[in-house]
Structure 1
Amino acid sequence: MNPKASPGHALSIIPREQHTISRKNISKAALRVLYRLNEAGYDAYLVGGAVRDLLLGGHPKDFDVATNATPDEVKKLFRNCRLIGRRFRLAHVVYGNEIIEVATFRGTSDEEGDRHVVDGRIVRDNVWGSIEEDALRRDFRVNAMYYDISDFSVRDYVGGMQDLHNRVLHLIGDPATRYREDPVRMLRAARLAAKLNFRIDPKAAAPFAELGPLLSGVAPARLFDESLKLFLTGHGLKSFQMLEGCGLLKFMFPATARAIRRGDRALCMLIEQGLENTDARISEGKSVTPAFLFAVLLWGEVRDLAHTWMSHGKDGNDAWSRAAAHVVSEQCQRVAIPRRFTIAMEEIWALQPRFEQIQRKKVFRLLAHPRFRAAFDFLLLRGAESQAMEELGRWWAHAQQLPHETLAAALPAQHVGGDVDTGVPAPARKRRRRRKPAGKSGAS
């Protein structure tokens, strides 16, 4: 009897000669796990994003394995294995810096095993089942294909190969039900569409507006991890545009969404350029930091709030400090940004008004600040705000190229007004002669 597939889809087994997956492109650690499970008599498959990306000609970094061995049975086979998770019991097999995640086939029964659902949301799920059930439990069709190490074929139970061909993301099962089970699937849809340059099936996108608020119930630490996947894996600009287009941005970054709704085109340009620059650095193998990314995303709200408080008479430093603290506090209720990053963000913001203080001591003090480089890069992004801001960025770029003595000689001892160009700061204004108090003549 043929194995079962999802309703409306017959099981498709693609033999080795009809697909593009080669063991050369699978990590040695993943192959070790697959072979050892298979040799011990268990079914063992490479599954999920790795299979999807290999079929698309990509080079995945992470490899997940699905098997009919239970977590405890996996642990007995591998000395370098640890069991993790309460919500989803998993085995992690560790080889140096690489971790191969091994999951037991998930079942669909609500009656057997350790499965707990609250308000439609799966809070614990350790029900084992067959590979057919496991395929139905996965999120998107393109993520539910299995590479069989026993004969090197690909098993497709849900029509994932057709979706790869059509470059579309279909959710497995009823979209509203699946999003209630795990609201993060909405973010995953946007991220995968951006990464793969796929479109989201209209039925999968339809519940976003109604069910987007469920993201507020997701653990903020988990949403931080999802933010890194969205914005720091090389396709951040597309992910941002996808989130905004799908109406999901406001549920993760409400301050960013509000600032964009105010119609500030310069701010949109700053965010898009910042994300584009980050994508470029990742593609070039350069380091990136979440602090700079979040500083870019939240800048509009911080800037507007600081200017509002200054217009009401607050001291500039205090206004910027309070604005930063307020915006960070609100954002961390949605996305738990670690303190080491929020400190860096606040410093980047706090240094922005100091770039306008063209005075000898302050210029050299700012140049020596440990956060200067990040703050200067941020200043360059702000060039779209005004011509004066663009000129300010050029001036600081030029100032960094000058020898210390040349720059010191060109700078006034005290802050002066006027625009800044790429050469020497505006000349010092002539000091006004002080009047002597009435009744105190200089004559003897």
Structure 2
Amino acid sequence: MNIIPRSEHNISRKDISKSALKVLYRLKDGGFDAYLVGGGVRDLLLGLKPKDFDIVTNATPEQIKRLFSNCRLIGRRFRLAHIVFGPEIIEVATFRGHHQDDGEKNQSDHGQLLRDNVYGTIDEDAERRDFSANALYYNIADFSIRDYWGGLEAIQKRQIDLIGDPETRYREDPVRMLRAVRFAVKLDMQITPATADPIYELAPLLQNIPKARLFEECLKMFLSGQGLKTFEMLLEYKLMQQIFPNLTQAFDKQTKAYQLFTIALANTDKRINNDMRVTPAFLFAALLWYEMSAAQEHYLQQGLPPQDALHMATSAVLDSGQFNVVIPKRFSTGIREIWQLQPRLEKRAGKRCLKLLEYPKFRAAYDFLLLRTEVEGEPLEEIANWWTELQKSDEAQQAMLLGQINQNNRKPRRKRRSSPSRRTNRNKES
């Protein structure tokens, strides 16, 4: 363990969240050790603005709660304290220790940790960290940094390096494989060979992770502002194939499914980096669109009406549990709406188009139509251009555009043929 004094590093308290400083000082004044740890320290050393500030201490969760009235305790596998300051949450964890042989099963048959409520010292906590660059502790008592595993050197060399035996660490928590990729892309670092090599063999362990947790990891990876690069690296290490095992064909660069999702990721990255709003529903709608389209075609061939086939296909894809993630209802509802509006956008049913403009999910569905147009081209291009023009037009222009559609949609009137009896009557009269 190397102690780096304040004079030899660039971290300043003015760059640390005021809320995090309040927590650090109150723990210290309460007689406890308090350290800023992990990504916050790493990012400050890199000259970046941390997204989160995590703190570790020798205080137990119950002791932390007694110090802070704005504290709530969460977690089962490992208890954490969340100190709430309005929209900002400072996460505080008690130093983790090593598991004792107490007769209880702490690991699964695959080596994954099942329970983690074991407290220890800061030295033990450092051994439990995943990557060397994340095992850096900023001490509020003297503003020094404790570096246990050469984290400062790893940052200087721009390397992602696991602490300990990589295979053992991945088996303990397979999500570390995803974190290695995410950090490598986010920080523009290289994964060391020793850390990278086991991933190819151990990637299937991701199938043992709870689906809800994997979905949250997907959000972190794809909504990082570098989602496209992250996706490409996930494919390289065969990790994406474990999260969506039935979409392996869609990950072929020659397919429309691959093109649609990568364009969606590129657009999402651009919006995030320009501080614009994004919705995960849009991304997952793009990822699963052709899977749903194939299911819809299956139901159409069985003779179902188009609308029923669409509903059946949507449920078959979103509700079947065929992925290793579970998409929460707050997002799956948005995916359904985006998909189910596509036929209505394509049909352009007269005056109903104006009402469709007021629909809450119209903009997302319209953007999705534009996305499909980039991949599929004609005939969607003419339809997308029409909707673009309709939104920009005044009432008179909108009426003209709707008139064009009504005229195109109007079926030619068939010449009415008189019945034989009427022809006979006419002949008699003549």
Q: TM-score, normalised by structure 1?
A: 0.87
Answering whether residue 242 of structure 2 is matched by residue 260 of structure 1, we say: no
1:359–1:412 Cα contact (<8 Å) kept:
no
1:408 to 399, 403, 413: 399
1:220–1:332 Cα contact (<8 Å) kept:
no
Q: Tell me the secondary structure at the aligned position of residue 55 of structure 2.
A: strand
1:90–1:103 Cα contact (<8 Å) kept:
yes
Answering whether residue 350 of structure 2 is matched by residue 360 of structure 1, we say: yes
In structure 1, what is the Cα distance between the partners aligned to 2:299 and 2:196?
40
User: 2:141 corresponds to which letter in structure 1?
Assistant: S
Deviation at 1:332, TM superposition (A): 7.1
Deviation at 1:428, TM superposition (A): 5.7
> What do residues 264-295 of structure 1 show as CA deviations (whole Å, max 9, x unaligned)?
1x332321221122222222322222211211
Answering whether residue 17 of structure 2 is matched by residue 18 of structure 1, we say: no
Q: Tell me the secondary structure at the aligned position of residue 313 of structure 1.
A: coil
User: 1:441 corresponds to which letter in structure 2?
Assistant: R
Deviation at 1:108, TM superposition (A): 2.5
1:359–1:413 Cα contact (<8 Å) kept:
no
In structure 2, what is the Cα distance between the partners aligned to 1:191 and 1:123?
24
What residue in structure 2 maps to residue 278 of structure 1?
268
What residue in structure 2 maps to residue 96 of structure 1?
86
> What do residues 159-199 of structure 1 show as CA deviations (whole Å, max 9, x unaligned)?
11122122221111122211221121122122212211222
What residue in structure 1 maps to residue 330 of structure 2?
340
In structure 1, what is the Cα distance between the partners aligned to 2:357 and 2:72?
48
User: 1:75 corresponds to which letter in structure 2?
Assistant: K
1:216 to 207, 217, 225: 207
> What do residues 316-348 of structure 1 show as CA deviations (whole Å, max 9, x unaligned)?
111211111111123575222221321221111
Deviation at 1:430, TM superposition (A): 4.6
Deviation at 1:56, TM superposition (A): 1.1
Q: Tell me the secondary structure at the aligned position of residue 211 of structure 1.
A: helix
Report matched runs for 1:11-410 at 5 Å. Answer: 11-111=1-101, 116-119=106-109, 120-261=111-252, 263-264=254-255, 266-331=256-321, 334-383=324-373, 384-410=375-401
1:195–1:238 Cα contact (<8 Å) kept:
no
1:114–1:124 Cα contact (<8 Å) kept:
no
1:47–1:144 Cα contact (<8 Å) kept:
yes
- Runs of 4 or more, structure 1, over 6 Å off, are 112-115, 413-416
Q: Tell me the secondary structure at the aligned position of residue 127 of structure 1.
A: coil
1:112–1:127 Cα contact (<8 Å) kept:
no
Q: TM-score, normalised by structure 2?
A: 0.90
Deviation at 1:23, TM superposition (A): 0.8
In structure 2, what is the Cα distance between the partners aligned to 1:56 and 1:382?
39
Rate the CA distance shift 1:16–1:391 in 2: closer, same or farther, 3 A. farther
1:441 to 423, 426, 429: 423
Deviation at 1:125, TM superposition (A): 1.4
Paired positions, count: 424
User: 2:267 corresponds to which letter in structure 1?
Assistant: N
In structure 2, what is the Cα distance between the partners aligned to 1:127 and 1:76?
20
Q: Tell me the secondary structure at the aligned position of residue 121 of structure 1.
A: coil
User: 2:390 corresponds to which letter in structure 1?
Assistant: A
User: Unpaired segments of 5 or more residues in structure 2?
Assistant: none
Rate the CA distance shift 1:347–1:332 in 2: closer, same or farther, 3 A. farther
> What do residues 178-221 of structure 1 show as CA deviations (whole Å, max 9, x unaligned)?
12211211221222122112222233233333322222222222
Q: Tell me the secondary structure at the aligned position of residue 123 of structure 1.
A: coil
2:244–2:323 Cα contact (<8 Å) kept:
no
Rate the CA distance shift 1:202–1:312 in 2: closer, same or farther, 3 A. farther
What residue in structure 2 maps to residue 4 of structure 1?
none
In structure 1, what is the Cα distance between the partners aligned to 2:301 and 2:130?
50
After superposition, the CA RMSD in angstroms is 2.6
In structure 2, what is the Cα distance between the partners aligned to 1:236 and 1:263?
20
In structure 2, what is the Cα distance between the partners aligned to 1:163 and 1:346?
45
* Identical pairs, percent: 51
User: 2:145 corresponds to which letter in structure 1?
Assistant: V
